[in-house]
Amino acid sequence: MNRSRLGCVRTTVTCLVLLSALFGSVGMAHASEKPNIILLLADDLGYGDLSCFGSPAVKTPHLDRLASEGARLTRFYAGSAVCSPTRASVLTGRYPLRFGITKHFNDVNRWLPESATTVAELLSDAGYNTAHVGKWHLGGLHVDQQGRRLDNQPGPRQHGFQFYQTQIEQQPLRGRMGRERTLFRQGGTVLLRNDLRVGEDDTYHSKHLTDANGDYAMELIEKFSADQKPFFINLWWLVPHKPYEPAPEPHWSATAADGISDDQHRFRSMVEHMDAKVGLLLAKLDELGIADNTLVLFTSDNGAAFEGYLGELKGGKTDLHDGGIRVPMVVRWPAAIPSGQTSDAFGHTNDLLPTFCDAAGVELPSELPLDGMSLLPHLKGGPAPSVDARGTVFWQLDLYKHLQRHYPKPKPFATEVAMRGKWKLLALRGQPVELFDVEADPNEQRNIIDDHPDLVASLTDQLEQWLNAPRTPK
């Protein structure tokens, strides 16, 4: 063989070896790569407020895409019928009552205890970049005259988030903006980013709140994707919580319709605006080539308030019937979750922490008590967790006598729920008042409490034990 040909052979062999090593290492890296995780949490979005969950009015093509390319869970529950308790459930995987959180926070003197272990802390310890964007409502977002965050309450950084951007949650500021209906349109003027108030010279200062949240999340995705570390972004929209405000164009004009109220028009425009930002976020993942190994999950913090759509479900926000706690949930992770799934398996916001840690390969501390369980094996195509494996699930909420709907709150009132499989017991201060078979009667129309005395006694006993369990309020 002449030298020229020998050189060509050697060059070819060398190139093949290098390419083999390169593609082999890329394949191995992808196989062992931890996923990015994005949690999208709406505020007061009802069970039927996405078109993929039957909305007759609102169009949500981007969230529908998320559902079609992943899984849609039709029996998913928020940890409470109001916001702050559910948010504690999302972050900790534990019942809000474990921390003495029994109602929504009032922007004055309540917060999630710093001793609570959060999903952000667990993922940060496992090498993740972590960020919170949007509404917080778990305390610690007050500022001094210079716009610096006060450190007398724990905020996002004390709960494991390395970066954050949210609104200042301080009275009388928030109350005034709510009454004036400027909380969204002037939302950028009261942003707090990484413990400092955003100044007038900041590009986000003039932004609509929904744009500020979506744009900052995409900015972080760009920043984090250039790093070697995976990321967790906790994006909590304020949409479609009151005040109802007109979303910017084209969403305002696109949602005009005959025969609807001004508030209903505003509501629809707000939801479609949020959906459009989700679409841009998904496009950003595609553009960066990281969509395949990014887990994106969307749900709501409680059931629908005034303008939201519940279908035939009973109750609504502030009420423990399913209209107040059953919420839409969709999740996509192309590398691991088969597309086009619909499941009626029970799920709960307590399950999010163990599910995310399972996806990230994070071993949960043996001493960490959790009230949820990983849904990942089921989402990957396995069986749903059995009733025996999950046991009885509980809710507690201080009594709100008024429903945030256009009709009275259902009676009898309830402050607790114990649910085991299809059986749902509602109680008022520990005393049973209603029992429903939510499989046969999902709209909770037939109270069968007198037909199952042994079951009622068993669930009531479990509820009493749960209510009397130790709490960690500080």
| Angle, CA of 49, 51 and 54, to the nearest 5° | 75
Annotated catalytic residues are 83, 137
| Angle, CA of 419, 39 and 404, to the nearest 5° | 55
pLDDT confidence of residue 105:
95
pLDDT confidence of residue 3:
36
Collect the ranges in the chain with pLDDT lower than 50: 1-31
Short-list 397, 393, 400, 453, CA closest to 424: 393
pTM: 0.93
Give the tokens for residue 179. Answer: 């009454």
pLDDT confidence of residue 474:
73
The Cα 369–Cα 41 span in angstroms is 24
